[in-house]
Amino acid sequence: MKLYELTIAEAHTLLKKNKISSEELTSAVLERITALDDEIGAFITVADEMALSMAQQADRMIAKGHITPLTGIPIAIKDLICTQGLRTTCASRILENFIPPYDAFVIKQLKKAGAVIVGKTNMDEFAMGSSTENSGIQITHNPWDLNFIPGGSSGGSAAAVAADMCLGALGSDTGGSVRQPASHCGIVGLKPTYGRISRFGLVAFASSLDQIGPLAKNAADCALLMNAIAGYDAQDSTSAPAPAPDDYSAIPRGGLAGVKLGIPREYQTTEGVDDSVAQAVRKAIDVLETLGAQCVEVTLPLTRHAVAAYYVIAPCEASSNLARYDGVKYGLRDTTMTGLAEMQRATRSKGFGAEVQRRILLGTYSLSAGYYDAYYKKASQVRTLIIDDLKKAFEKCDVIIAPVAPTPACPMGVMTEDPLQMYLGDIFTLSANLAGIPGMSTPCGFSDKGMPIGLQILSNHFNEKTIFKVAHNFQLATDFHLKKPELNTDCG
């Protein structure tokens, strides 16, 4: 096995036994990036020198007997999480040369754990999109087939993990942006409970929906990342004061006896679900039942309104959050205009891409006088009803099982040609963000074109440990998460 193919847990064992060094591991990953990323386009910035310096520091820590499960492990970071001294662009021309003067909370936690940051990954601009084609910097391709999308908005992070260009990554999930690319790239992605991970240093898209989440090669690695980044942060007013579990990775392996799986009635009749997705999810449920889990039917009648509610609330919050990019404080400024209003108009027109402009306009319209009650207020009321639906469902079950996306990854260009199709593709993921509950995607099958399909596991607030239990036991009984895309490379 090549060093870059290791899981986090495997690499940790070898590092602890001094069988390998972090510098060797990091060098192998950087060589892998050099060999593959011209074709895949997962990284906006590769931090070669910084990564090797961090690896050398990790080796010194290990030599002194100071090692955590992430010490010396190469990790990639979605490019909307602030990294001190390392460019953070949000994949937007308006922030193309922005270098943060501070680290996000999660970056501080990773550094404290001794992790190695290898670079910043591509994304849909300001996390607005589901294909990573809306990046203002470059397009990311799916490692399983370069003609297909990797999903989004955390498509760069997902593609980097799937192609072994890092051992784990961080993304963000506002409406499915960790789970959906994890599904499309055949890896594991977790959207934690809202408030479980600090958003300090996460560049805001929709503040009541955004949540940082880990992406990894399997559920056990995902748990190790959660151990490092979860917890209360006084710098984030939305950070939950509830203490995080001591160890997410202490996952019971003895099957799923006593676990109740909620199967939403509405998800079984949703239009537009690809046959390969429906079959993969059904087979996954069969596997979970053989492990001892019990299926119960639940109902989520407001699911059909989730897309409409989300695409009012999220653009409204985006309109407010992105008002700060005015050409005055930081970022791009159009210097050809002399008047303030003209300068701001030209700066925002040049700096923001089409999808970001579309959502700013939708949000500004929905918040305008005479329309606030009809749109934002009504959407917020629907959001409350969706939360109530999920509360009632979790009275009957421990987790809800669903598809991640109605279809496998689609060819490049399909979503950019039809934004409505992109929005409807979020039907199964949006409710978790609106309600603030945790959800995970774990590989459960492949389409007839060989593209990965993810199984979504949702649970009640702060119940990530049950999600890990279900996913890990499913992975012990299957091998979907072990499959790798065939990539042509000569790197060692």
Task: Give catalytic residues, as residue numbers.
Answer: 78, 153, 177
Other CB atoms within 10 A of residue 252 CB: 12
What is the side-by-side order of every strand in the sheet holding 439-446?
Answer: 43-46, 116-121, 74-78, 168-172, 212-216, 188-191, 439-446, 452-459, 399-403, 260-264, 294-298
Residue that is written with structure tokens 């989440």 in the block? 213
DSSP E strand boundaries for 301-396 = none
191: which residues sit within 8 A by CB, 6+ positions away?
Answer: 173, 176, 178, 179, 211, 213, 429, 432, 433, 438, 439, 440
Q: Are 352 and 92 spatial neighbours (Cβ–Cβ below 8 Å)?
A: yes
| Contact present, 184 and 140 (Cβ < 8 Å) | no
Sign of CA dihedral 398, 400, 404, 407: positive
CA–CA separation, 287 and 372 (whole Å): 47
Q: Tokens 């979970």 — which residue? A: 288
Encode burial over 385-396: b for 16+ CB neighbours within 10 A, e otherwise: ebbebbeebbee
Reading the block at residue 479, the tokens are 């091998």
The Cα angle at residue 256 between residues 253 and 259, in degrees rounded to 5:
140
- Find all residues with CB under 8 Å of 353, minimum gap 6, and list them: 92, 93, 125, 134, 136
Which residue in 12, 455, 395 sits closest to 225, CA to CA? 12
